[in-house]
Amino acid sequence: MPIKKAGFKALRQSKKRTARNLKVKSDLKKIIKGSRKLLDDKKAEEAKKLILQSIKEIDRAISKGIIKKNTGARKKSRLMKRLNALIKK
């Protein structure tokens, strides 16, 4: 436990930020998982809409500093790669 007032405040801030970051990360995982499921089911049009939405969410998480820039780029790249492969077939 912290001893000083500033320590208690830092602890409160840390808990609040952790909760917010976990919420954003879990939402991100859900939307990416949904996109992958649609890609597996070969529903290109629905997948395209959801992938565009998930790219927005990834960009928002990057801008907030919740995930790193290269991690976001990798996730977007993999989704688009699978979508383009499905559209070509």
Record the pTM: 0.86
Give the CA radius of gyration of the chain.
18
Between helices 5-40 and 44-64, what is the axis angle to 10°? 160
Complete domains list, the chain, with CATH: 5-88 (1.20.58.110)
Give the pair of three-digit tokens for residue 44. 């290109």
- Residue-wise pLDDT for 13-35, tens only, equals 999 999 999 999 999 999 999 99
In the chain, % of residues over pLDDT 70: 100
The count of other CB atoms within 10 Å of the CB of residue 2 is 11
Find out whether 33 and 3 touch, Cβ atoms under 8 Å.
no
